[in-house]
Amino acid sequence: MKKVQRALGVKKAGHCGTLDRFASGLLVVTTGKASRISQFLLESDKSYRAVIALGLDSPSHDPETEITEVPVPEGAFDRLENLLQLFEGKQDQLPPVYSALKIKGKRASDRVRAGEEVELKIRPITIYSLRLLSVDTERNLFEVDVVCSKGTYIRSLARDIGARLGTAAILKSLVRTASGSFSLGDALPVSQLSGETGRRCVRTIEEALVNLTSVEVSEFAVQKIAHGAQFSREEIVSTTMRDSEMCALVHKGSVCAIAVVDFGHWAVRYSAVFCQNTRSDYSHQV
């Protein structure tokens, strides 16, 4: 983040989702006031391009730990494309023990490296699309394109595919190609972020939150929102529903708050308020 701060000339910058050390690709960065929306961008769906190696096993399910060879059954690649379809949809996934998930305040990976036994709980995820791109049978490699929900571990996906094929598998390489409304094609390397070149990949808060349900509110509602107060259903000008529990409360093209809105019972829970002259955060039911 220090390199990004220097390149952009900002004092504050944060990222919206880490990448494994061996991985590359898109990293969404927020600066200034936009740092307050990082938690909402973290919830976005992600897309990856992954190369998976059959017949290899490692504790971390990637090249970062010791690798051992495992036999690959004859005909494994013949069953691969049909098998991948079975991994699409809602499911439970066991995260890798070499992960940043916290156990009593300490990363699971740090506990494993310290010699501790670690057990993680399965977590619900969704794989929206899992498409086979290429196969290299000589090197036991195949490449896939994955679109998935937040919290999906592609290393675990590789592990599970290998197990279903009667062997082991590790994630050989990984590139994040999209995160929410952001795509790798619009990104730049850190070395090109400074000056006018870097401006082409900058997005406004409004553009970043385009996947949230948008609720246009009146000026009277904005005054109430600024004080964390209830505004009425009648003060909604228009609503654009999207597949998101979170709503962006908008007035004249500018986001004034992010909130969970219960349209049925009319209740609003503010998660962040951007109106001027307000408290920095609201998280209560009104």
Residues of the chain with CATH 3.30.2350.10: 46-179
DSSP 220: H
Place of tokens 């690649």: 77
Q: Where are the CATH 2.30.130.10 domain residues in the chain?
A: 212-273
Tokens 């990637």 found at: 62
Asked if 20 is an active-site residue, the reply is yes
Tell me the per-residue pLDDT of 172-209, one tens digit each, with 9 for 90 and over. Answer: 999 999 998 899 998 988 888 877 777 778 888 888 88
- C-alpha 236/C-alpha 120 separation (Å) is 44
Q: Which of 20, 62, 92, 160 is catalytic?
A: 20
**Topology annotation, domain 46-179:** Pseudouridine synthase (3.30.2350)
Report the relative pairing of strands 169-179 and 46-54 from DSSP bridges.
antiparallel
DSSP 8-state symbol, 285: B
Cα gap 17→14, rounded to integer Å? 9
The sign of the torsion formed by the CA atoms of 42, 43, 47, 48 equals: positive
pLDDT of residue 270: 93
| Structural domain 212-273, CATH architecture | Roll (2.30)
Q: What is the pLDDT of residue 282?
A: 32
The string of pLDDT tens digits covering residues 20-31 is 888 999 999 888
Rounded Cα distance, 41 and 86, in Å: 28
